[in-house]
Each structure stands twice: as structure tokens, then as C-alpha cells.
Amino acid sequence: MTKDKKENSQKKDGDDKFAKLVSLCKRRGFVFPSSEIYEGFTAVYDYGPYGVELANNIKKLWWKEMTQLRDDVVGLDSAIFMSPKIWEASGHVKGFSDPLTECKKCHARLRLDTLLEDAGIFADEKMTEDEINKIFENNKDKIKCPTCGAKDFTPGKKFNLLVQSNLGNFTSDWTKEPTYLRGETCQGIYVNYKNIVDSSRVKIPFGVAQIGKAFRNEITARQFIFRTREFEQMEMQYFIKPGDDEKFFNEWKQLRYDFYLKLGFLPENLRWHQHENLVFYAKAAYDIEFNFPFGFKEMEGIHARGDYDLSQHAKFSSQDLNYLDPQTNERFVPHIVETSAGVGRIFLAALSNAYREEVNEGGEPRVVLSLKPSLAPIKVAVFPLLKNKPELVAKAREIFDILKQKWKCEFDDNGNIGKRYRRQDEIGTPYCLTIDFDTLENSEITLRDRETMEQKKFSLENLLTYLHQELD
């Protein structure tokens, strides 16, 4: 096969898989388009019954890894709305922008850096308007509108991504002095740095972790939950002594990569991307990329940010944000190593990593989400063999009531057992239990394993031991 043919066929496979994942998300209640009964609301999504479980599992695992298993990282939940001065100090009001262009034929609004990159031409959002327009001019013939195929665009113009609101401003011209919905969660960490040092026992090096919503007026938001205008971030800022940057940057790089291996992500689906075009204050920046159905893309960023963040806030707030080392009596502005991940992107990566289609020996197809039990929305499904036998239903309920104290379980008495298994396979439930006449007679419960489809009989006591071993 020629290189072009191979690439085309890989793209088609990726597109097919992506369409299947989006359809599964809707069909099985993982993700719904926002405001769907009103024809939807672009680039915003709602997480349904199984989606919220999966997203919560991702957040719980991250929180445990970052705060519970370490004694040098504490948590924070700062507000979404903050003083607008924060966004001036951080540089977002002036510089948080992407280059926007418009197709002159179909009027689609597009990100110019992405259009260039998709055509294999190096560009990035940090370039100035002039820089990117120059590259654009020189390559005009290579750029096509992804919507209508036309080759005629307006010149690129920087578009600010901060979302504005009138919170606390009761005048009609509030747009002159807007309040912003936070564009990233980490600013809440920087501005609480002093509170945390003063109120807790943390000593440098230490970290602050936070999970929360962020908002960006993204220009193009195709790719489902990969790029949305409202999304959740999981960020950790690690405060260090100047000079220790490289050591802690490398340490966090490794830890964050290992986190994805623990989630069951296949090593071949992960890779590093080193940023070449660093912002002036950054010392190093790498992304962990995942092999999404549309190619390798950023899932998490790890950045060595120097003293930029605290120095800017010290300057704009006129507060002393120096750290006094209790041992050496040295005073310094801490440097920061940041880890920043998006819940939605890890969610999509987890589904893509776990999705499998197979045909069993009887020629029957099945779709399986091979999620690690820690990620699976439902850990155990409990089925009475027959819906119309009250004694089976009562026994199944009794077992369900015991298990649900410990794990998220589902009770299902609808349809034939085979169909109930398929449904659970598709949402990634590792174990299904069937309560049949043997259970009534000799207390044996049948456990069916999602991966092997093997069935084994257990007494209730042995079953509990087995589930503790496999699920905890």
C-alpha cells in the first residue's frame, strides 16, 4: 500500500471509530449534546448517568493520586468568578487569544493556526498576528476550508478566548468592565498561595491541587468533548525553590505519565510532545498526547513556569508573595511546576482506549468497553434470571442491596440474559451476577467476567472476597 493510501485508510478507520464512540455515548447515556431539545448549543455537552460516573471516577483517581497519596500536596476549591485584575496580571486580557479567520464563501469561522497545521505547515497560537498572516500569505494555495472546500479567507485576527459576564456590574455598558468566567483553574491557586502558606503546615516544595470548571470562547469546537467552551480541568501547581526546576519538572513528568498507565491506557496510545516555541517566562513545556481517533493530540500539559505567576500577582496586587525559608532564612519568589489536564479529554481517551468490537465463536458480535474496574461506571450488575419469578427477583434484590453498600451496582431484570450481558459489556461493567434457581437451592451465584465471558459459581462469602480482590 502506498503511504497516501495507508494514511487515507487510517483516517477512515479513525473517523469510523470516532462516529461509533459518539453514537455509543449518546445511546448509552454517557454524553448528550447540550440543550438538545432546542437544537443544541455548540461546543457544550452534558454528562449522562454513566458519563457522570466515569467522569467522577477519573476525578476521584486523580484527587487520590495527587492529594491523598502524598503529604506534600493540599487541595483547594476556589471560585469560578474572581477579581478581573487577576486576568490582567496573568496576561489573559491582553494575550489569551487564538488567530481567527473566516471562509469568505461559507462564512465558517476557523482557527488559522489549526488550518495551517492540518496542512502540514508549522504555526501556533502564540505567534503574533503579523507572523501568522505572513505564513498564511505564503501558503494560501495549500489551505482549504474544511466545511466547503473554498480557498478564500479573511486575514487572521487575534480573538480573545476569555468569556465575559456582567457579574456584580449593574450598568448597561458592563462590557467596558466585564468580570470573567475563569479561563483556567490555576489562577485561583496562585492567588491563594499566601493564604495556604499562612494557614497550613506546607513547606516548600509543596503543591496545591484543584479540580473545577473553566471556560473558553473556543473558535472552532468540532471534535466532540475534546474541545468545548465549558470544560473541567484538574490542575496542580508545585511551588519550589528557584534552581530546583529541572529536578521537579522531570519528576512530575514521569509521575503524570505513569498515572495514565495505571488507568490502563496502552503505551502505544501515549506519547510526549515537546513545545519548541516557549512563552518567554517558561523553562520547559511538554504535553502528554493521546492517540485519539483523529490522531495524537494533547491530553495534559506539564510546564516549568519559573516565577512568572507569583511575580505578576505580587506586582499587580502590591502584596509580598515572597517565601521565607524557615531553615535558611532566605527570601524568594517560588518557582512553579504545573500539571494541567482536562477531564473531558481523559474521558474521551479512556473510551477510545477501551473500545473493542469482536465476534465470538458463535458468530455473535459484541461491543466491549475494556475499562479498568476503577474507571468503570458500574462495577457489578445483578440480574434475576427471570423477571416473573418473585422469589428470584427478591433474592437478586437482597444481593444487590448488600453489594451496593460498597460498589456502584445496577439491577436489571429486563430482557434475556444475553442482551443484559451485551448492554453491560457496552458500558464497561466488569462483572455481572445472575441469580437463578441454584441460588435459591444451594446459595450459588453465577459471576460472568466481561473480558473472558467465562462464568463461575460462587457462594456469597467467596463472591465478596473475590470482588474485593478484583475491584478495590
Nearer to ligand ATP among residue 90 and residue 439 (C-beta): 90
- Residue among 309, 305, 377, 333 at smallest CA distance from 60: 377
- Which grid coordinates belong to 159? 480573538
Q: How far is the CB of 42 from ligand ATP (least distance, A)?
A: 12
212 binds ligand ATP per the rule CB under 6 A: no
Binding mask 157-196 for ligand ATP (x = CB under 6 A): ---------------------------x------------
Q: How far is the CB of 287 from ligand ATP (least distance, A)?
A: 7
DSSP 162: P
Strand partners, 23: none
Q: How far is the CB of 204 from ligand ATP (least distance, A)?
A: 24
**DSSP calls for 298-362:** EEEEEEEEETHHHHHHHHHHT----EE-TTT--EEPPEEEEEEEEHHHHHHHHHHHHEEEEE-TT
Nearer to ligand ATP among residue 233 and residue 434 (C-beta): 233
Nearer to ligand ATP among residue 123 and residue 435 (C-beta): 123
Q: How many CB atoms lie within 10 A of CB 320?
A: 11
446 binds ligand ATP per the rule CB under 6 A: no
Q: How far is the CB of 342 from ligand ATP (least distance, A)?
A: 3
Q: How far is the CB of 187 from ligand ATP (least distance, A)?
A: 12
Q: Give the residue carrying C-alpha cell 443484559.
A: 420
Nearer to ligand ATP among residue 129 and residue 298 (C-beta): 298
Q: With contact defined as beta carbons under 8 Å apart, do 339 and 300 qualify?
A: yes
113 binds ligand ATP per the rule CB under 6 A: no
Binding segment toward ligand ATP, per CB under 6 A, in 113-121, 199-207, 336-344, 410-418: 336-344
Q: How far is the CB of 285 from ligand ATP (least distance, A)?
A: 9
Q: Which SS3 state, helix, strand or coil, does residue 147 take?
A: coil
Phi and psi angles of residue 233, each rounded to the nearest 5 degrees, phi first: -115, 155
470 binds ligand ATP per the rule CB under 6 A: no
Cα 310 from chain centre: 26
Q: 343-354 vs 3-27: helix axis angle to the nearest 10?
A: 110
Phi and psi angles of residue 366, each rounded to the nearest 5 degrees, phi first: -145, 150
- How far apart, in whole angstroms, are the C-alpha atoms of residue 377 and residue 394? 25
- Residue among 299, 429, 453 at smallest CA distance from 372: 429
Q: How far is the CB of 408 from ligand ATP (least distance, A)?
A: 25
227 binds ligand ATP per the rule CB under 6 A: yes
**DSSP calls for 243-309:** T-HHHHHHHHHHHHHHHHHHTT--GGGEEEEE-SS--TT-SEEEEEEEEETTEEEEEEEEEEEETHH
- How far apart, in whole angstroms, are the C-alpha atoms of residue 208 and residue 194? 12
Q: With contact defined as beta carbons under 8 Å apart, do 207 and 315 qualify?
A: no
Number of H helices, E strands in the chain: 15, 23
Q: How far is the CB of 148 from ligand ATP (least distance, A)?
A: 24
- Which grid coordinates belong to 54? 466515569
Positions 51 through 110 that interact with ligand ATP (CB under 6 A): none
Nearer to ligand ATP among residue 308 and residue 383 (C-beta): 308
The binder of ligand ATP chosen from 158, 216, 448, 450 (CB under 6 A): 216
218 binds ligand ATP per the rule CB under 6 A: yes
Q: How far is the CB of 439 from ligand ATP (least distance, A)?
A: 46
Q: How far is the CB of 433 from ligand ATP (least distance, A)?
A: 37
Nearer to ligand ATP among residue 187 and residue 233 (C-beta): 233
Q: With contact defined as beta carbons under 8 Å apart, do 57 and 375 qualify?
A: yes
Q: Determine which helix (DSSP H) or strand (DSSP E) holds 437, and give its type and residue range.
A: helix 437-442
Binding segment toward ligand ATP, per CB under 6 A, in 77-85, 192-200, 224-232, 252-260: 224-232
Q: Which SS3 state, helix, strand or coil, does residue 49 take?
A: helix
Binding segment toward ligand ATP, per CB under 6 A, in 225-233, 393-401, 415-423, 457-465: 225-233
The binder of ligand ATP chosen from 101, 228, 312, 446 (CB under 6 A): 228
Q: How far is the CB of 452 from ligand ATP (least distance, A)?
A: 34
Q: With contact defined as beta carbons under 8 Å apart, do 74 and 202 qualify?
A: yes
Binding segment toward ligand ATP, per CB under 6 A, in 200-208, 308-316, 337-345, 403-411: 337-345
Phi and psi angles of residue 414, each rounded to the nearest 5 degrees, phi first: -100, 125
Q: Give the residue carrying C-alpha cell 471560585.
A: 79
- How far apart, in whole angstroms, are the C-alpha atoms of residue 231 and residue 210? 14
Determine the size of the site formed for ligand ATP (CB under 6 A): 16
Q: How far is the CB of 186 from ligand ATP (least distance, A)?
A: 9
Binding mask 275-304 for ligand ATP (x = CB under 6 A): -----------------------xxxx---
Q: With contact defined as beta carbons under 8 Å apart, do 105 and 152 qualify?
A: yes
Nearer to ligand ATP among residue 301 and residue 430 (C-beta): 301
Q: Give the residue carrying C-alpha cell 453491560.
A: 424
Positions 339 through 378 that interact with ligand ATP (CB under 6 A): 340-342, 344-345
Nearer to ligand ATP among residue 338 and residue 444 (C-beta): 338
Residue nearest to ligand ATP (CB): 342
Which parts of this chain interact with ligand ATP (CB under 6 A)?
184, 216, 218, 227-228, 231, 233, 298-301, 340-342, 344-345
